[in-house]
Amino acid sequence: MPTKPSLSLDTFPNPSPARDYLIHMEIPEFTCLCPKTGQPDFATLFLDYIPDRKCVELKSLKLYVWSYRNQGAFHEAVTNRMLDDLAKATQPRFMRLTARFFVRGGIFTTVAAEHRKKGWKAQPSIDLAQFEPLSSVR
């Protein structure tokens, strides 16, 4: 039986829940319909999140994204709705969904929405660029 679009998001246990680590996904085939004209809108989605106890399963994410193909939605609305659904399913420490829509009427639109778990604070990043490799020190 062929797969079908689905609004269901499956998860699996985070294999390293004691550590903050970033999961980055690029989803280049997002489509929905313009609610005014019915014409297709195309976007690349960038999903970045720091999981807590659950991670999103990729096949269910693919089917979830596919479910928007025939739905009319403004860019701002669809980005925020998707973030809400993903955050509800995974309950991450941090999540950002960025939707970069292709040009329509001479305008590119990018919408970014974020979710933070209450009380979570990002750990400071280590800037490795400040360290020179030993081979360059003379």
Are the beta carbons of 78 and 68 closer than 8 angstroms? Answer: yes
Distance, CA of 110 to CA of 38 (rounded, Å): 20
Q: What is the DSSP letter of 7?
A: S
Largest CA distance in the chain: 65
Q: Which of 34, 48, 52, 85 is catalytic?
A: 34
How many helices and strands in the chain, by DSSP H and E?
2, 6
Q: Which of 10, 20, 32, 41 is catalytic?
A: 41
Are the beta carbons of 70 and 7 closer than 8 angstroms? Answer: no
Active site (annotated) includes residue 55: no
Give the residue numbers marked as catalytic.
34, 41
